[in-house]
């Protein structure tokens, strides 16, 4: 019996995009459902009653929540193709550590750049953000991917932020390429992959989205 | 060659206790090294340069950081005894989801003994909501892992030795609100791996008093 896979998502969410990349890496067909977070659907509330957030993967009627937990689930169920986590336990722990680092740091710090009014908070946010990216760039080293020779778990966790880079740069008034050229080279390398280019949103559309949200919150 | 396992930890840390429970579940011998977080050791800074926090597990010289990542690592390396994560991918995702959820208790709990007035009340409400949700997830099972003590049990049980301190400063009773959860924590304490890893609630209470003085909360 064919798997029924439904993804509850919103198009600008870098978290949803992680799941889309993982599904594409595994060559899986699924139904994409755009959610309106200002008017949450009964399905979303039923499938993620705890956090009421996207993404939610619904596999044969059963929900899985939290983007990197979903990615690990996808990797374990469809383990015959494009493995995302390595097999060695130490390397797996390292991969989970860095994906967790991206989660703990990048999103919240990035928010300060885009959503706060100009001033000290934004400057601090920008400094911290660049520090995080530099640390990640050092972790990448001279490898083509964070997963080594192959695109892997940490690559999935981070690459989706790259379509938000233009927005961070624009509001923070800085250039990520100047600060972290190797990281930008890595994002371009990832975008050569169909699974990534077909899953990430257009950076200009993201910028328009952020601009619209800022107006809505009275920041612009 | 025997494994060399070192745990950098702080005696009162419920996150560190998670690792102690997991190591005990697997019957592993290790060297415990108490850390002074006000004067971080060169080893801690070398082994966790990113977060500079405990717990850190050092296995044959290589560090693993973040308590739940460490527990998963221990479970994967020593997979032949007392498995903590289930084998079914869906159940594993569920266990990971709820373990991730328990991390909320850490921040909310801190507010219970650090904050005052309305901030503390909000934290208390949030804390109890979390515990009730977790109690609902436990249902009528002996453990969160079902018949056997598992990953989510490890993630949550160490908070139980902090309950007395939370109740004391937050002025509420966990047992009154979540009797099944307290029953579960007592059941877990019957396990040697748990009772030998968790700290005395009175000592934890003393620790919080000391921290509050130090941070000028009183």
* A-chain residues near B106 (CB < 8 A): none
**pLDDT, average across residues B159-166:** 97
Q: Which of B15, B71, B93 to mutate to test the interface with A (most CBs of A within 10 A)?
A: B93
| A2-44 confidence digits (pLDDT tens) | 899 999 999 999 999 999 999 999 999 999 999 999 999 999 9
Q: Taking CB atoms and an 8 Å limit, are A92 and B59 in contact across chains?
A: no
Q: Is A4 on the interface with B (CB under 8 A)?
A: no
Q: Which residues of B touch A101 (CB under 8 A)?
A: 50
* B191, pLDDT greater than 90: yes
pLDDT at B2: 82
What is the mean pLDDT of the segment spanning A167-173?
94
Q: What is the mean pLDDT of chain B?
A: 96
Residue in A69, A93, A96 nearest the CB of B93: A69
Residue B59: its chain A contacts at CB < 8 A? 90
B93 CB neighbours in chain A (<8 A) are: 64, 69-70, 72-73
Tell me which long-range contacts A113-119 makes (C-beta under 8 A, separation of at least 24): A113/A168, A113/A171, A113/A172, A114/A167, A114/A168, A114/A171, A114/A172, A114/A210, A114/A214, A115/A213, A115/A214, A115/A217, A115/A219, A116/A219, A117/A219
pLDDT digits (tens, 9 = 90+) for A79-115: 999 999 999 999 999 999 999 999 989 999 999 999 9
For residue B59, give the chain A residue with the closest CA. A90
The confidence band for A219, taking pLDDT boundaries of 50, 70 and 90, is: confident
Question: What's the pLDDT score for residue A215?
Answer: 92
Q: Which of A66-75, A190-199, A210-219, B179-188 has the lowest mean pLDDT?
A: A210-219
For the whole prediction, is pTM greater than 0.90? Answer: yes
Rounded to the nearest angstrom, the minimum Cα separation between A201 and chain B is: 27
Interface contact A132, partner B, CB < 8 A: no
Contacts of B100 in chain A (CB under 8 A): 66, 69
The pLDDT assigned to A117 comes to 76
pLDDT for A7 equals 98
Contact A18, A208 (CB under 8 A): no
Phi, psi of B31, rounded to the nearest 5 degrees: -100, 120
Tell me, letter by letter, the H, E, C secondary structure of chain B.
CCCCEEEEECCCCHHHHHHHHHHHHCCCCCEEEECCCCCCCHHHHHHCCCCCCCCEEEECCEEEECHHHHHHHHHHHCCCCCCCCCCCHHHHHHHHHHHHHHHHHHHHHHHHHHCCHHHHHHHHHHHHHHHHHHHHHHCCCCECCECCCCHHHHHHHHHHHHHHHHHHHHCCCHHHHCHHHHHHHHHHHCCHHHHCCCCCHHHHHHHHHHHHHHCCCC
pLDDT digits (tens, 9 = 90+) for B44-101: 999 999 999 999 999 999 999 999 999 999 999 999 999 999 999 999 999 999 999 9
Residues within 8 A of B (CB atoms), A 57-76 only:
59, 62, 64-66, 69-70, 72-73, 76
B positions 179-218 inside 8 Å of A (CB): none
> Does residue A1 have a pLDDT over 90?
no
pLDDT at A205: 98
Q: What is the mean pLDDT of residues B118-143?
A: 96
pLDDT number for residue A163: 97
Q: What is the pLDDT of residues B99-129, one digit of tens each?
A: 999 999 998 999 999 998 999 999 999 999 9
- What is the per-residue pLDDT for B198? 98
A194-208 average pLDDT score: 98
Query: Is the CB of residue B107 less than 8 Å away from at least one CB of chain A?
Result: no
Predicted pLDDT of residue B180? 97
Q: What is the pLDDT of residue B1?
A: 64
What percent of chain B is modeled with pLDDT above 90?
A: 94
Nearest to A73 among B62, B65, B93 (CB): B93
As a whole number, the mean pLDDT across chain A is: 96
């Amino acid at each position: 019996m064919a798997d029924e896979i439904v993804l509850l998502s919103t198009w600008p969410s870098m978290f949803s995009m992680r799941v889309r990349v993982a599904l594409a890496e595994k060559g899986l067909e699924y139904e994409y459902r755009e959610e309106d977070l200002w008017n949450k659907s009964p399905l979303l509330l039923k499938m993620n009653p705890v956090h009421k957030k996207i993404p939610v993967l619904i596999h044969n009627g059963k929900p899985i929540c939290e983007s990197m937990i979903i990615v690990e689930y996808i990797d374990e169920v469809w383990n015959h193709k494009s493995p995302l986590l390595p097999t060695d336990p130490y390397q797996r722990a390292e991969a989970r550590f860095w994906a967790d680092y991206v989660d703990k740091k990048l999103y919240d710090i990035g928010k300060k750049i885009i959503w706060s009014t100009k001033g000290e908070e934004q400057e601090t946010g920008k400094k911290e953000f660049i520090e995080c990216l530099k640390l990640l760039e050092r972790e990448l080293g001279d490898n083509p991917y964070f997963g080594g020779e192959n695109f892997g778990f940490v690559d999935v966790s981070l690459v989706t932020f790259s379509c938000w880079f233009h927005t961070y740069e624009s509001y923070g008034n800085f250039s990520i390429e100047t600060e972290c050229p190797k990281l930008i080279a890595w994002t371009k390398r990832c975008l050569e992959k169909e699974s990534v280019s077909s899953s990430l949103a257009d950076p200009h559309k993201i910028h328009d989205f952020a601009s619209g949200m800022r107006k809505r919150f009275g920041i612009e | 060659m025997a494994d060399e396992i070192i745990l950098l930890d702080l005696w009162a840390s419920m996150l560190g206790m998670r690792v102690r429970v997991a190591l005990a579940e697997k019957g592993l011998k290790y060297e415990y090294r108490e850390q002074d977080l006000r004067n971080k050791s060169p080893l801690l800074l070398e082994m966790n340069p990113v977060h500079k926090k405990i717990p850190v597990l050092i296995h044959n010289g290589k560090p693993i950081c973040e308590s739940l990542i460490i527990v998963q690592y221990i479970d994967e390396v020593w997979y032949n005894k007392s498995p903590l994560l289930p084998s079914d991918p869906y159940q594993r995702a569920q266990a990971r989801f709820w373990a991730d959820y328990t991390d909320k208790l850490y921040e909310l709990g801190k507010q219970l003994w650090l904050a005052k007035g309305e901030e503390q009340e909000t934290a208390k409400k949030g804390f109890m909501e979390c515990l009730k949700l977790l109690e609902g997830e436990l249902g009528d099972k002996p453990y969160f892992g079902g018949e056997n003590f598992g990953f989510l049990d490890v993630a949550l049980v160490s908070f139980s030795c902090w309950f007395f301190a939370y109740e004391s400063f937050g002025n509420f009773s966990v047992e009154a609100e979540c009797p099944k959860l307290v029953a579960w924590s007592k059941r877990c304490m019957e396990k040697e791996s748990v009772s030998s890893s968790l700290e005395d609630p009175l000592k934890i209470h003393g620790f919080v008093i000391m921290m509050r003085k130090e941070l000028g909360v009183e």
